[in-house]
Amino acid sequence: MKKFLFVIMCFFALMIGMYPLIYFFVEHKHTFLGLKSPEILHNQIWKFAFFAHIIFGGISLFIGWRQFGSKFRNKHPQLHRIIGKSYVISVLISSVSAIYMGIYANGGIISSVGFIFLGLVWLITTLTAVAQIRKGNVMKHQQLMIYSYACTFAAVTLRLWYPLLTSVTKDPDNSYLAVAWLCWLPNLLVAYCINKKNVEVN
């Protein structure tokens, strides 16, 4: 079951990680940008942050899953470090962009605070994980990276929660407000359970 769930996670990570590619092939009015007001779309800083967020967020999602699994880390330590550095850089760019974008989130203050908090937790857990590995604290580093990737995986869970809630409630607006929190808080709870189980095993 554990391997099956990991495969499912990897599948969604790879698929949603490639999501930014649609902006090269689909008219922007048929994408998320079609939901934004003309004022925001004419804000060049916001547009820059948006593309930085989805491109580097997609990269972090696409490559981050590969870091998990002791066999891979032990067999390919150099590759693990290369992927890790690429992941951290991608998260830093995407999370800072997300925090800025959160100010303009659809739905007002409730969704704004949800997405801004997500960006902050994503940024802080990743930076702290880097600080811990530099101190040689491998266990803390691994735990924090699990929390970091739980935030990264919000890109997937958002796209699962929103259509589910919308179909049940028939209320897209309030569903979006809920998803601003549901896309990441349960992920952190799962990450906590995984870390707790790993500590018990060790």
Give pLDDT tens digits for 56-79: 999 999 999 888 877 888 888 899
| pLDDT the model gives residue 193 | 95
Q: Is the pLDDT of residue 29 over 80?
A: no
Give phi and psi for 106, each to the nearest 5.
Answer: -60, 140
Amino acid (one-letter) located at 65: W
- In a domain, residue 27? The reply is no
- In a domain, residue 123? The reply is yes
- In a domain, residue 151? The reply is yes
Contact status, residue 153 vs residue 180, Cβ threshold 8 Å: no
Please count the structural domains in the chain.
Answer: 1
Q: What is the pLDDT of residues 162-179, one digit of tens each?
A: 999 999 999 999 999 999
Give every CB contact of residue 156 below 8 A, 6+ residues apart in sequence. 12, 13, 16, 61
- In a domain, residue 122? The reply is yes
> Residues 175-201, buried b or exposed e (16+ Cβ, 10 A)?
bbbbbbbbbbbebbeebeeebeeeeee
| pLDDT the model gives residue 147 | 98
Q: How far apart are CA 56 and CA 36, in angstroms?
A: 21
- In a domain, residue 39? The reply is no
Q: Is the pLDDT of residue 108 over 70?
A: yes
Contact status, residue 87 vs residue 56, Cβ threshold 8 Å: no
Give every CB contact of residue 139 below 8 A, 6+ residues apart in sequence. 199, 202
Q: What is the mean pLDDT of residues 12-16?
A: 90
Contact status, residue 62 vs residue 54, Cβ threshold 8 Å: no
Confidence of residue 202 (pLDDT cuts 50, 70, 90): low
Q: What is the pLDDT of residues 133-159, one digit of tens each?
A: 999 999 999 999 999 999 999 999 999
Contact status, residue 122 vs residue 151, Cβ threshold 8 Å: yes
- In a domain, residue 58? The reply is yes
Q: How far apart are CA 113 and CA 56, in angstroms?
A: 22
Q: Percentage of the chain surpassing pLDDT 90?
A: 69
Q: What is the mean pLDDT of residues 84-113?
A: 96
- In a domain, residue 85? The reply is yes
Give every CB contact of residue 4 below 8 A, 6+ residues apart in sequence. none
| pLDDT the model gives residue 115 | 97
- In a domain, residue 154? The reply is yes
Closest-CA residue to 97 (of 42, 64, 48, 62): 48
Domain range spanning residue 56? 45-65+72-201
Instruction: Provide the sign of the torsion angle of the four alpha carbons 94, 180, 123, 103, taken in this order.
Output: positive
